[in-house]
């Protein structure tokens, strides 16, 4: 089955380069491009892609806001953040916004293609080293301020296990949670009722890692 991808980036050269690499890959088709979040939402409404590849920083509506709308209105679309920012807080916000992948622009094309395929298959893909650092920072933040807008302790556990390449079933068995759903809760108010559950398998090493 062909994976249909929508691209959103405010730089036309970046969009053109991404499109060229993705269209060359077997089983992947780029269905359209957008230069901001508003254009992306319109594109998704018209084309119903499997994957939305989104830059975080864009005019009019940025990638994080667009991801939240996609999460709420188009939950079947897998969101991958493609960005130059390796700041941990961006990763936190991306995950909370519903992103299933976080890829740095410094990665090579093969890594991006593999990420698209993994996320389309139901996996969550974040660089293992970045996940470990992220989980450590979040753990520290929770100790500093129990009311901080960070991920829950269970979400941190999931990220830590994801970082070390555990499969969906492994994580579910370790944490006694369902292996069928994945994304963390979307707001502070929903944490008490929504149970974050295990990401499906993410390889220990992706191409280009």
- CB neighbour class for 202 (10 Å; exposed up to 12, middle 13-18, buried from 19): buried
Residue 188 in this model has a pLDDT that exceeds 80: no
CA atoms within 13 A on the CB side of 193: 4
Phi-psi region of 176 (alpha: psi -120 to 50; beta: other; left: phi over 0): left
- pTM score: 0.70
Q: What is the pLDDT of residues 5-63, one digit of tens each?
A: 999 999 999 999 999 999 999 999 999 999 999 999 999 999 999 999 999 999 999 99
Residue written as token pair 């293609």: 113
Of 47, 151, 17, nearest in space to 92 by CA: 151
Q: What is the pLDDT of residues 104-150, one digit of tens each?
A: 888 889 989 999 999 998 888 886 657 766 666 666 655 555 555 55
């Amino acid at each position: 089955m062909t994976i249909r991808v929508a691209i959103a980036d405010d730089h036309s050269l970046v969009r053109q380069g991404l499109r060229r690499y993705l269209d060359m890959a077997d089983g992947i088709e780029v269905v359209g491009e957008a230069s901001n979040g508003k254009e992306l939402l319109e594109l998704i409404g018209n084309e119903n892609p499997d994957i939305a590849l989104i830059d975080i920083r864009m005019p009019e509506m940025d990638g994080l806001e667009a991801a939240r709308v996609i999460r709420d209105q188009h939950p079947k679309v897998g969101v991958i953040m493609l960005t130059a920012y390796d700041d941990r807080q961006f990763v936190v916000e991306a995950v909370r916004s519903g992103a299933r992948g976080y890829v740095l622009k410094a990665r090579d094309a093969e890594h991006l293609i593999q990420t698209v395929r993994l996320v389309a298959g139901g996996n969550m893909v974040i660089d293992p080293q970045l996940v470990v650092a992220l989980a450590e920072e979040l753990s520290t933040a929770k100790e500093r301020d129990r009311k901080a807008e960070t991920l829950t302790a269970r979400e941190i556990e999931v990220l830590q296990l994801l970082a070390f390449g555990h499969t969906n079933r492994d994580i579910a068995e370790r944490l006694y949670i369902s292996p069928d759903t994945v994304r963390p809760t979307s707001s502070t108010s929903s944490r008490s009722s929504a149970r974050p559950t295990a990401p499906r398998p993410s390889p220990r090493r992706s191409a280009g890692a």
